[in-house]
Amino acid sequence: MSLLIRNGRVVTAVDDYHADIFVEDETVSLIGRDLDVEADRTIDASGRLVIPGGVDPHTHMDMPFGGTTSADDFETGTRAAAFGGTTTIVDFAIQTKGHSTLEGLETWHEKAAGKAGIDYGFHMIVTDMEDDRLWEMRRLADEGVTSYKMFMAYPGVLYVDDGTLFRAMRKAGEDGTLVCMHAENGIVIDEIVKIALAEGKTAPKYHALTRPTRMEAEGVHRSIAIAEVAGVPVYIVHLSCADALEQVTLARDRGAQVFAETCPQYLFLDLSHYDRPSGRSPGDHDDFEGAKYVMTPPLREKWNQEHLWRGLGFGDLQSISTDHCPFCFKDQKVLGVDDFSKIPNGGPGVENRMSLVYNGGVVGGRLSVNKFVELTSTAASKLFGLFPKKGTIAVGSDADIVVFNPDRRETISIDNPHTHHMNVDYNAYEGTEVQGVSEIVISRGRVVVEDNVWYGRAGGGNFIKRGLFGGPF
């Protein structure tokens, strides 16, 4: 099977030129002007950007959490990702406390195999790591799981203490892998939550008000300090605020190997969303609309957003992931209707990331088009051992390509069939108008989305064994 993409404006993290791209089977085999080749199919990309498929390094499909399971599984979630122009995800497998991480990996392979419609990798969430288990980490790396996530938040659930953190970090450093950190002081936050509940503060907005930015900054500072001593590069996930960013910037300025991502929710949504009226009749959980935005870290005061954009522009933040972890409002968020601490934490977004970032970044004059590609694809690919297979358009790379219309506008809505394929009953960006839409999405040489129709298949995505951490770039 061969595919010729003609006349497009090819944009990578560093290039911007007009050319044709010839794809044979799963990879790009030729790039040039007016290519003289025959192909099984030709796509005319005139007036379109031709960009590497998005890489979302932070999703939670089919994840048991908060007494329920995230609403997208690997089939619905990866299909929605593809509609939005993302062709690779790195999801999080979980080690059950007291059990082997390898068992956890097996469970996540079972969840994804035969279901994922685009390529995927796994990080491993480490929940305990005694000395006699450290050997597993090298095995995981051999299996292509070359990054871990550890939590300073959620005591009693995913939380690990600093000793565990250090032990695992030291081994990860020896092995050449990368540690991802959920950096929030969960021990102090749980005390603040207890006080709030005792005062009768049960509404969703108290989720945000009990998680001060200083407690995120403290977690960032502490995890970086421990990582420096342990000798491992560290990647701060879902960084939400200026306070936490300052810690990353300080560490990078002194030469520490620190990387960080933020997410669209922290760039486009803010604290005021917790006070949104429901639009339903009074008495019908009418102060519960904010539950849609209960995620961790929470949404912050709006002024933080410009700091995050500046961090992205100046390189202190390297990547934009989604932390896609959807829970249905009616059936799942409602678990916390009388107590915000019982609302399942997480929100949807895997489908809308590329359009949101293009619109807010490139159309908004904050990012160059190359930086847009870097932040949504290339940087994550490099950091997580996928490059140059993923994250660029080059001879020999996987033909994960998006034909992106930079002029087309859509209003993101659960009711707009062009913007919502996620298996969740609300869209966090409801009513947001975006310019820039992924129109044709190609995964390893196969068109999986065109004219808003799904041509991929469950099981069409492959597990990707990722390489070791390749160093700063």
Select 5 or 227, whichever has its Cβ closest to Zn ion.
227
**Token duo for residue 424:** 């969740």
- Over its C-alpha atoms, the chain yields an Rg (Å, rounded) of 21
| Of the candidate residues 175, 243, 323, 398, the single one contacting ligand URP (CB under 6 A) | 323
The nearest distance, CB 343 to ligand URP, in angstroms, is 10
Select 28 or 263, whichever has its Cβ closest to ligand URP.
263
Q: CA–CA separation, 51 vs 60, rounded Å?
A: 25
For residue 300, give every residue at least 6 positions away whose Cβ sits within 8 Å of its Cβ, in sequence order, or none.
Answer: 208, 213, 240, 241, 266, 270, 271
**Token duo for residue 266:** 């922290």
Tell me the site size for ligand URP, rule CB under 6 A. Answer: 9
Contact residues for Zn ion, defined by CB under 5 A: 182, 323
Q: CA–CA separation, 295 vs 253, rounded Å?
A: 30
Query: Of 257, 259, 222, which is closest to residue 239 (Cα–Cα)?
Result: 259
The nearest distance, CB 16 to ligand URP, in angstroms, is 34
* 41-70 binders of ligand URP (CB under 6 A): 60
DSSP-derived secondary structure letter, 396: T
In order, the DSSP letters of 7-29 are EEEEE-SS-EEEEEEEEETTEEE
Select 9 or 123, whichever has its Cβ closest to Zn ion.
123
Select 72 or 323, whichever has its Cβ closest to Zn ion.
323
Select 290 or 346, whichever has its Cβ closest to ligand URP.
346
Q: What CA–CA distances, in Å, run from 165 to 172, 260, 467?
A: 10, 18, 22
Q: CA–CA separation, 461 vs 61, rounded Å?
A: 14
Query: Of 436, 381, 308, which is closest to residue 49 (Cα–Cα)?
Result: 436
Q: Is there a contact between 84 and 350 (Cβ–Cβ < 8 Å)? A: yes
Q: Is 346 in the site for ligand URP (CB under 6 A)?
A: yes
Q: Is there a contact between 159 and 197 (Cβ–Cβ < 8 Å)? A: no
Select 70 or 392, whichever has its Cβ closest to Zn ion.
70
**Token duo for residue 139:** 């095995």
Q: Is 292 in the site for ligand URP (CB under 6 A)?
A: no
| Of the candidate residues 146, 147, 223, 296, the single one contacting ligand URP (CB under 6 A) | 296
The nearest distance, CB 248 to ligand URP, in angstroms, is 17
Select 13 or 94, whichever has its Cβ closest to Zn ion.
94
Instruction: Select from Zn ion, ligand URP, none the partner in contact with residue 345, using the beta carbon and a kind-dependent cut-off of 5 to 8 Å.
Output: ligand URP
Q: Is 72 in the site for ligand URP (CB under 6 A)?
A: no
Select 159 or 309, whichever has its Cβ closest to ligand URP.
159
Q: CA–CA separation, 125 vs 149, rounded Å?
A: 5
DSSP-derived secondary structure letter, 340: G
Query: Of 89, 75, 126, 77, which is closest to residue 463 (Cα–Cα)?
Result: 89
The nearest distance, CB 311 to Zn ion, in angstroms, is 18
Residue type, 217: A
Select 167 or 182, whichever has its Cβ closest to ligand URP.
182
| Of the candidate residues 88, 262, 265, 345, the single one contacting ligand URP (CB under 6 A) | 345
The nearest distance, CB 323 to Zn ion, in angstroms, is 4
Q: CA–CA separation, 137 vs 232, rounded Å?
A: 14
Instruction: Select from ligand URP, Zn ion, none the partner in contact with residue 346, using the beta carbon and a kind-dependent cut-off of 5 to 8 Å.
Output: ligand URP
Select 267 or 367, whichever has its Cβ closest to ligand URP.
267
Q: Per-residue contact track with ligand URP, 149 to 178, x per CB under 6 A?
A: ------------------------------
Q: CA–CA separation, 262 vs 454, rounded Å?
A: 29
Instruction: Select from Zn ion, ligand URP, none the partner in contact with residue 295, using the beta carbon and a kind-dependent cut-off of 5 to 8 Å.
Output: ligand URP
Q: Is 182 in the site for ligand URP (CB under 6 A)?
A: yes
Instruction: Select from Zn ion, ligand URP, none the partner in contact with residue 221, using the beta carbon and a kind-dependent cut-off of 5 to 8 Å.
Output: none
Q: CA–CA separation, 113 vs 312, rounded Å?
A: 34
Q: Is 183 in the site for ligand URP (CB under 6 A)?
A: no
Residues of the shown chain interacting with ligand URP in the complex, contacts defined by CB under 6 A: 60, 182, 238, 295-296, 323, 325, 345-346
